């Protein structure tokens, strides 16, 4: 019996574990190590600050689901791995493996600019989303200028756009919109680049949104410094701000950076081929955010990264599971799908409005690339949330 240890239990890790056990059955032992027994549907965190969701609405216990499906769940913090000894060291003991899957997700680089951690809010974690909710309650008592956006090197521009439009709607609902100058700042070459080299009509559509909602926008800029009441951009622009929300860049987690034998990139990502197998360590694999993704374009002025969203994380988890089983059976041909050739599937919430984004490839060239606005209601975003929570709660990892 082969043993696979999976470190990380979000989209990529959960999918890889369930698929590996489903297909490998009793011939494969699967151990998933994660600090939390909860699965969180991260895309819905954008709604938490506005009280449209609570954390309990978008999370559930994953340990019971994994155990029911035959996956051994270990609630522990993975500290390091020795790839020579094939041993993962955690704060709850050591775990030997035949195959290792790194599905650790990101660490947030708050020190990208002075003051980001101290004075800017971040919605990418439950704690950050709840702190933002509390801050908005205080803000509405004494409203003023607002700055929302992404820093240099960031890759999660989509969530920041979603927060921006939800914020604009919330300001109107609180009857304080006229008291607020709303600014959007982004390192993107142009509005709607999204870190995927844009989509047809994306720039013109978003420019239209900005004009319609009276939002000032600043492209090709980074963050020089954040102060309690100001945001200073890298081009020297000073924006007054009574509330600031920024998406900083992601880097590899401590487990990766503290494990020199993983031969990770300087940013803490795992170098893999199109089969998601480590380029130098044949029994090490990566899925989701832990994958090192090379950009097929060069940012014009300010550096930024590509998004690593739930759909490609889910897809790479499935590919890794299939390839581990093929290797275990002695097969030479592995399944391959480059990150940039995974379909782009996203629904951008715009404050009870939405834009449905679909392309046959994340990166160009593409033969299908669509952006479909729905200005009536964000039912597609809600439907996607309900579907993914439903399928994951039941362990139906094979579903799209």
pLDDT band at 400 (very low <50, low <70, confident <90, very high): confident
Mean pLDDT in residue range 326-351: 95
pLDDT band at 214 (very low <50, low <70, confident <90, very high): very high
pLDDT the model gives residue 181: 98
- Tallying the residues shown for the chain, one arrives at 400
**Do residues 349 and 44 lie in contact, with contact meaning Cβ atoms separated by under 8 Å?**
no
Residue 105 predicted with pLDDT over 90: no
Residue 291 neighbours by CB under 8 Å, 6+ apart? 269, 270, 272, 276, 308, 316, 339
Q: Cα(12)–Cα(388) distance, rounded to whole angstroms?
A: 13
Residue 32 predicted with pLDDT over 90: yes
Mean pLDDT in residue range 85-112: 97
pLDDT the model gives residue 74: 98
pLDDT in tens, 267-310: 999 999 999 999 999 999 999 999 999 999 999 999 999 999 88
pLDDT the model gives residue 271: 98
Residue 168 neighbours by CB under 8 Å, 6+ apart? 177, 182, 213, 215, 351
Question: SS3 string of the chain?
Answer: CEEEEEECCCHHHHHHHHHHHHHHHHHEEEEEEECCCEEECHHHHHHHHHCCCCHHHHEEECHHHHHHCCCEEEECCEEEEECCCCEEEECCEEEECCEEEECCCCEECHHHCCCHHHHCECCCCHHHHHHHHHHHHHHCCCCCCEEEEECCCCCCHHHHHHHHHHHHHHHHHCCCHHHCCEEEECCCCCCCCCCCCCCCCHHHHHHHHHHHCCCEEECCCCEEEECCCEEEECCCCEEECCEEEEECCEECCHHHHCCHHHCCCCCCCECECCCCEECCCCCEEECHHHECCCCCCCCCCCCCCCCCCHHHHHHHHHHHHHHHHHHHCCCCCCCCCCHHHCCEEEEEECCCCEEEEEECCCCCCCCCEEEEEECCCCHHHHHHHHHHHHHHHCCCCCCC
**Do residues 217 and 94 lie in contact, with contact meaning Cβ atoms separated by under 8 Å?**
no
Q: Is the dihedral of CA 136, 140, 144, 148 positive or negative?
A: positive
Give whole-number Cα distances, 248 to 120, 251, 360, in Å.
10, 10, 28
Mean pLDDT (the chain) is 96
pLDDT the model gives residue 386: 96
Residue 206 predicted with pLDDT over 90: yes
pLDDT in tens, 349-386: 999 899 999 999 999 999 999 999 988 888 999 999 99
pLDDT the model gives residue 377: 87
Question: Which structural domains are found in the chain, ordered by start?
Answer: 2-107+251-340 (3.50.50.60), 110-249 (3.50.50.60)
pLDDT in tens, 49-74: 999 999 999 999 999 999 999 999 99
Q: Cα(336)–Cα(56) distance, rounded to whole angstroms?
A: 37
């Amino acid at each position: 019996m082969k043993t696979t240890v999976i470190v990380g239990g979000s989209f990529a890790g959960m999918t890889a574990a369930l698929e590996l056990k489903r297909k490998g059955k009793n011939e494969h032992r699967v151990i998933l190590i994660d600090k939390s027994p909860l699965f969180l549907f991260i895309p819905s965190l954008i709604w938490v600050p506005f009280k449209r969701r609570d954390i309990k609405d978008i999370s559930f216990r994953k340990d019971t689901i994994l155990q029911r499906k035959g996956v051994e769940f270990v609630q522990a913090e993975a500290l390091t791995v020795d790839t020579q000894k094939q041993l993962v060291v955690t704060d709850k003991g050591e775990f030997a493996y035949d195959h290792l899957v790194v599905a650790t997700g990101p660490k947030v680089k708050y020190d990208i600019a002075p003051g980001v951690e101290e004075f800017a809010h971040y919605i990418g974690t439950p704690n950050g989303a709840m702190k933002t909710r509390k801050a908005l309650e205080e803000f509405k008592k004494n409203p003023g200028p607002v700055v929302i956006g992404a820093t240099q090197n960031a890759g999660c521009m989509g969530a920041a756009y979603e927060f921006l439009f939800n914020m604009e709607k919330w300001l109107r609902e609180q009857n304080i919109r006229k008291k607020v100058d709303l600014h959007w700042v982004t390192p993107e070459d142009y509005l709607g680049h999204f870190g995927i080299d844009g989509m047809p009509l994306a720039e013109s559509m978003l420019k239209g949104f900005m004009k319609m909602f009276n939002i000032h926008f600043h492209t090709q800029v980074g963050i020089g410094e954040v102060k309690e009441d100001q945001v200073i951009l890298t081009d020297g622009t000073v924006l007054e701000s009574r509330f600031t929300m920024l998406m900083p860049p992601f880097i590899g987690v401590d487990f990766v950076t503290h494990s020199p034998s993983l031969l990770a990139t300087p940013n803490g990502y795992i170098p893999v081929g199109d089969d998601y197998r480590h380029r130098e360590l044949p029994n090490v694999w990566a899925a989701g955010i832990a994958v090192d993704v090379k950009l097929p374009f060069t940012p014009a002025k300010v550096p930024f990264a590509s998004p690593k969203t739930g759909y490609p994380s889910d897809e790479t988890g499935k590919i890794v599971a299939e390839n581990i089983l093929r290797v275990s059976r002695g097969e030479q041909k592995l399944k391959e799908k480059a990150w940039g050739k995974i379909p782009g599937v996203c629904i951008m919430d715009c404050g009870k409005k939405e834009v449905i984004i679909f392309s046959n490839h994340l990166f160009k060239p593409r033969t299908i690339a669509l952006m479909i606005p729905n200005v009536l209601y964000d039912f597609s975003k809600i439907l996607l949330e309900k579907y993914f929570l439903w399928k994951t709660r039941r362990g139906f990892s094979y579903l799209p």
